[in-house]
Amino acid sequence: MAGVVEFLSSLVEVESVNDPSAGRLVGVGEAEEVRRAVREHAGLDMELVENEGVPILLYMAGSGRPVTLFMAHFDVVPPGPGWRVTEPFKPVVKGGRLYGRGAADDKSNVAAISLALSGFEPGRGTVIIAFTGDEEIGGERGAGWLAGRLRSEGLWPDYVVNGDGSMGAVITRRRNVFNAIVRVRAERADAEGVSRRVMRLGLEVRGRPTRHAAYFIPGVDSHPLLTAAALVREAGLLASSLSGEWVKSNVLPASVELEALEPGGGGHGVYDPGLTALLKSLIPLSRITPGRLLYSDYGVTATPNVYRLAEGWHEVIVDVRAMTGDPAAVDEAVARSLEESLGSRVEWEYRVTGGGGYLYTPSSAELVKLALRVNQSLGLPGEPREAAGASDSRYFSPRGSQAIDYGPLGGNVHGPDEYVEIRQLEAAVEFYRRVAEALHG
């Protein structure tokens, strides 16, 4: 299926990078390039709309019920360093794989969905295709806006097939994402009979080789800030300062450096009771269990991934992932943990943000059963899977749509030398085509 390889290659060449920290955002220009590629390779003439600067490509065929939304995104994360097989936006085919930024996440699905639905005329119901330009930065103005528009137009989807996976499997669960921002007032105190100690602690990942917080496995992986917190809590260290390789709230820090005073020496030193208390509080905070949870293979994870000292306050941002749509339940769990661990000993405050939604579709749902049959007929996994990271399905799943995520097997997503398996890419085209025919033929 040379056509899909050529199509995907043309998409990878589009430098549709979202990098807010560098002031770089996907705009209409990149969307027009994607639109032209879709028209040239798949014959679909998609409408380009813009919402608050975010471009969305739309296509609709048919009328009435059922309504199925096929969705993917064409924005990508920054390429970063370390590429060896090829340059990020110069796709190359090697060893049965196509390499390049976005080859797996998520331009493979833009190509596969476009080709699968090229020329498709629903025998019944409505088929909608949407390719968004902001999934990598939250999706609120893309898929989030689209959800509101479809509801207002009476086109709320019965089914959502979200092409945003790289497992070659039908994904039916993804947890919700919250941020707990904890602040403790900085203080200064003297200590006698101590010695100064500086520790550099590194991240150890024994599961999936990624720094994405969604894939952190407590008890298997070693988080450097939690290691520092455990040393302060269990060894009685008095923290003086903290630094680390902080990136953003959903990226695990590669290393942390803790300067502290250790009891048992003969010297004098200065430490920060506020920082010491904050670090101690991170251990119980990393083990919170909000109430009213749906089932998740991953359970609940809470990883403190960003720290800063600003205007006299120590601040930590904790990435919390849980299968719940109830921010109040997460807020309650965070508050209870901090009240027990910090109490009135220091001045502190917190807030919980996020919680845009989750993906949770039971195995008994019609769409899941159909998708599993199709996947199994293609020689691919016939059991539903849970994925760790978030996706744009969260704007539809909690509100009544039967939703799944799907995508061809690939690797090094968000890292150097990202790739997709070409055989799986070809199978994805057939997967989307058969699902559409079964629902709307």
Encode pLDDT of 171-195 as tens digits: 999 999 999 999 999 999 999 989 9
Q: For residue 84, which amino acid is it?
A: R
Q: For residue 46, which amino acid is it?
A: M
> What whole-number distance in Å separates Cα of residue 200 and Cα of residue 285?
22
Encode pLDDT of 137-172 as tens digits: 999 999 999 999 999 999 999 999 999 988 899 999
What residues does each domain of the chain span? 2-175+358-440, 176-354
pLDDT, position 69? 99
**What tokens appear for 11 in the block?**
């998409």
For 232-267, letters b (16+ CB in 10 Å) and e give bbeeebbbbebebebeebbbbbeebebbbbbeeeee
State the DSSP H helix or E strand holding residue 254, giving kind and residue range, or none if neither: none
Q: For residue 1, which amino acid is it?
A: M
Averaged pLDDT score across all residues of the chain: 96
φ, ψ at 258 (rounded to 5°): -115, 125
Residue 2, pLDDT > 60, answer: no
Could you tell me which of 291, 273, 238, 282 has the C-alpha nearest to residue 346? 273
> What whole-number distance in Å separates Cα of residue 13 and Cα of residue 178?
33
The CATH fold of domain 2-175+358-440: Aminopeptidase (3.40.630)
User: Which residues, listed in sequence order, are joined to residue 57 by a DSSP beta bridge?
Assistant: 48, 131
Encode pLDDT of 317-366 as tens digits: 999 999 999 999 999 999 999 999 999 999 999 999 999 899 999 999 99
Residue 1, pLDDT > 60, answer: no
